[in-house]
Amino acid sequence: MAFDNTVTLVGNITRDPELRFTPAGIAVANFGLAWNRKNRDGEESVSFFDITCWRDLAENVAESLSKGNRVVVYGRLDQQTWENDNGERRSKVEVIADEVAPSLRWATADVTRTEFKGEAGGSAASGGSPAPGPAPTHSTDEEPF
């Protein structure tokens, strides 16, 4: 039996996307997302999510989005577990993004198509060669739109 752990979130970016590169040259960007909702009493509550983007998506997100932008994120849940300095087990759940797009509910956007980099999906910084890291959840051998 297969389980699907995909999630779609719409919210505001809480910190500018931070773009870094792994030792293998793979781009990775992280940012925070806040999702606001009102309950039946009219009280507002907020949930915060850590979002991680890889490869071309990471570079495009870092170049295009900033704190305060409203976005739509589609991805999968991933749980990280580690031990802190005191030997206590800690864990957190983050979203590994497959798609990130600006929300057009209260804004407009100009879309600029970037050059398709082929199956490797690597950046110029990575030399375009495949490298270890999270496997994409979709085929990268076809050009988008």
The HSE-up count of residue 102 (CA atoms within 13 Å, CB side) is 18
pLDDT tens digits for 78-117?
A: 999 999 999 999 999 999 999 999 999 988 888 888 877 6
Residue 112: per-residue pLDDT: 85
Are the C-beta atoms of 51 and 77 separated by less than 8 Å? no
User: Over the chain, what is the mean pLDDT?
Assistant: 83
Residues of the chain above pLDDT 70, percent: 78
Phi and psi at residue 14, in whole multiples of 5°? -95, -15
Give me the domains of the chain, ranges plus CATH numbers. 6-126 (2.40.50.140)
Judge whether residue 12 has pLDDT over 90.
yes
Judge whether residue 138 has pLDDT over 80.
no
Are the C-beta atoms of 100 and 32 separated by less than 8 Å? no
CB-based contacts of 2: which residues, under 8 Å, 6+ apart? none
Judge whether residue 20 has pLDDT over 70.
yes
